[in-house]
Amino acid sequence: MNKLPSHKRAQILHLLVEGNSMRATARIADVAFNTVDKLFIEAGQACAAYQDKTLLNLRCKRLQLDEIWSFVYAKEKNVQMAKSAPENAGDVWTWVAIDADTKLVPSWRIGDRSSETGLAFVDDLAKRLANRVQITSDGHRAYLEAIEGAFGGDVDYAMLVKLYGASPESSKGRYSPAECTGAIKTRIEGYPDPRYVSTSYAERQNLTMRMSIRRFTRLTNAFSKKIEKHALSVALHYMHYNFARIHNTLRISPAMAAGVTDKLWSVADIVAMIDAGEKSN
């Protein structure tokens, strides 16, 4: 069976995790689109499986939770007019947890913004932790039931509810998004330290996703056509982010800071991990 050499596979994955689209990657790497697509699927599946079994027994202290919007096939308002739209077409949310100290992303979930998705997300997160943590979320009410169901009373939990008001531009007759005018810190469970009630790292992580995953870029034509590939792109992104990317303030990768690995991975290491998984199967 013909197979690309490891250095070419690494080049393709490196292009993808740095925000290039599938077709742009195929052009730059001088390979067929189907070659990129096949490797992308293999890589996404391997990265999801590896992190699922590795990101366990984590000693996080302060976690921040947030959701980031994207869409599959068409935006929700356009799904009815779209031709041959798949079952899961429309708005999609990626729920993300980030460790405020190590910047590790221990858990994420692709789905809608319902309580059911929130329950699945927080339940998975809770199973990966080794100790009591402080959690901050935004004001999305789905978190109330989800965190209570997953942690019970064994958590220090606060919500950061942002307040929005009309922007100066709107008073001049021009459209402008509402501006954040403040935030209310609300204790929900336990004894969260008010100094660390924040979602700033989670919000910054959302920007990293939009810059690193072409499918998340606003006003793009590189959006996901199937939710399965949307999920694979997130798994590949977080494999690179957690293990192979030096965080500017930490000077090491989040996985190293969290004690999950003792080395900085390269994209070549990710390729080797994928190859090892293929051989074991």
Indicate the domain borders of the chain. Answer: 6-280
The residues facing 180 across adjacent strands are 164
pTM (whole model) above 0.75: yes
CA distance 229 to 215: 10
pLDDT value of residue 214:
84
What pLDDT digit, counting tens, does each position of 153-202 carry?
Answer: 999 999 998 887 765 555 555 555 667 778 899 999 999 999 999 999 99
pLDDT value of residue 115:
95
Measure the N-to-C terminal CA separation of the chain; round to a whole number of Å. Answer: 16
Q: In the structure, what pLDDT confidence band is assigned to residue 146 with cuts at 50, 70 and 90?
A: very high
Query: Would you tell me which CATH number, out of the four given (3.40.50.300, 3.30.420.10, 3.30.70.330, 3.40.50.1100), belongs to the domain 6-280?
Result: 3.30.420.10
CA distance 150 to 99: 18
| Cα separations in angstroms, 251 against 71, 258, 261, 268 | 33, 13, 15, 20
What pLDDT digit, counting tens, does each position of 100-130 carry?
Answer: 999 999 999 999 999 999 999 999 999 999 9
Max CA-CA distance within the chain?
A: 65
Which residues does 34 contact at the CB level (< 8 Å), separation at least 6? none
pLDDT value of residue 166:
63
What is the SS3 assignment for 262?
A: coil
CA distance 190 to 267: 41
